[in-house]
Structure 1
Amino acid sequence: MQRVKIWDAFVRLNHWLMVALVVALWWTAEQGEMERHLQLAGILGGLIVARILWGLFGSESARFSRFVKGPAAVVEHFKELGQGQYQPGNTHNAAGGWAVVALLLVLLVQFTTGLFADDEIFFSGPLASAVSGDLSDFLTGIHKDNFNVLIAVVVLHVVAIILYRLRGINLVAAMIHGKREGVAAPRLVNAWWAIIAAAALATAFYFFIN
């Protein structure tokens, strides 16, 4: 069957950069390298905002309106998957769409709360002094607890990828080369617009935070 491109270059690049940055942010926090942690957080913040904007105005397959479905669609998807009748389309499936939204929201909460976080020893976010000490402590707590939520979402994401692979559906390959067989080609917007916007946002956040 003919392979068509379903994921533009920005979606794929953004995906793998986020993976690398989350790992790097965890490592720098564990090692107490908070200056580097802040630098990387600024870049991640730019990528998050750019992906959200691309989900509103970008390529058809990347738009939230294309893959965020109601509960009935999610149930139907799992029913088809369980019966071996599911065939991948040219965007995220109904369950995967909600996984994307959940991951972006958790990352956005992590980034935003980090701006106000203050451990009162080694680290103080760039906006910590703009709020009261009690509010900063509250947001610091969310920042720490939300990381556990992020880990849970990531683990669920990985488990889902493995389960789909056991069903003969390779989700990772499509996110590498961007192509899938036997589906209609979605309308793709020039990814350079998103890449330039993401670079600009990442640079702006980088200098704002640091």
Structure 2
Amino acid sequence: MAIEPSSPSRGANTWRRMRVWDLPTRLFHWLAVVLVAIAWLSQRMNWMQLHVRAGETLLALVLFRLLWGCWGSETARFSRFLASPAAAWRHLRHLARREPDVQVGHNAAGGWMVLCLLGLLFVETLSGLYVNNDVADEGPLSEIVPAALANAISAIHAYGWDVLAAAVVLHLCALAVYALVKGHNLVGPMVTGTKSLPAASRAPRRASLWLAALLLGCSALATALLAVYL
């Protein structure tokens, strides 16, 4: 269930800065932005070694985010921000309503956008391990699968990029709409980690940075095993 904003009926005019996004979540977000940009540029410039390294690093980060979504801080957990499709639709019906932003974490529609982007990144980076175009761009797993399957996965990797690019554009458009129409700044809190909320709102629980380091290490190890030994 999504984290519901606390009712501002008491002390509605009293607001305070509150930390809503932890450091691991913010670092994942902005590193993913940089790595996707590097992957796009390196593919266009045919810098395939850089492209592969960016993809493998991004896969490790996505694996970490999936684990963090299960055991991380409250606002990062899937169980806390994934609402029902009906709740997401009800939220989108009021998209044009200008109102104060009292949402502690992801809103009902934003949670599904996060899940969609993570799923696309996972498919794109994992399929990149299999890519083989019979010229020079062989993924580390391309030799252990039949040619027909490798070609099919290569097609998924190619078309998946187009779908991912469309999802990124949709995400950017949504950020602009929230800023211009609703007056909600969704980018600032992802930079600073804090946002202004009604004083009655409960601060979300944060998980340990040591746990984040452990999960990141496990994700990096899993990616290395996939890329080197399988």
> Is the aligned partner of 1:174 residue 2:189?
yes
What is the TM-score with the length of structure 2 in the denominator? Answer: 0.86
Range moving further from structure 2, 81-90 or 44-53: 81-90
C-alpha displacement of 1:116: 0.9
* 147-156 vs 191-200, which moves further: 191-200
SS of the residue aligned with 2:95?
A: helix
Report if aligned partners of 2:72, 2:207 keep a CA contact under 8 Å in 1.
Answer: yes
Which residue number corresponds to residue 71 of structure 1? 85
State whether structure 2 residue 216 is matched by structure 1 residue 198.
yes
Equivalent residue, structure 1, for 2:113: 99
* Contact 2:98–2:183, Cα closer than 8 Å, also in 1: no
Q: Is the 8 A contact 1:10 1:192 kept in 2?
A: no
* Change in CA separation of 1:33 and 1:7 when aligned onto 2, cut-off 3 Å: same
Q: For 1:93 and 1:140, how far apart are their aligned partners in 2?
A: 35
- Secondary structure of 2:94's aligned partner: helix
- Structure 1: gaps (5+ residues): none
Q: Post-superposition shift, 1:89? A: 1.2
What is the CA deviation profile of residues 92-141 of structure 1, one whole-angstrom value per residue up to 9, with x for unaligned ones?
00110000000000000001111111011111111111110000000000
Name the structure 2 match of 1:3.
Answer: 17
Number of residue-to-residue matches in the alignment: 210
Alignment partner of 1:82: what SS? coil
Deviation of 1:85 after TM superposition, in Å, equals 4.2
Q: Which structure has the greater CA radius of gyration? A: 2
Report whether the alignment pairs 1:108 with 2:118. Answer: no
Equivalent position amino acid for 2:18 in 1: V
Greater share of residues in helix:
1
Deviations 1:9-34 (A, max 9, x none): 00000100000000001111111111
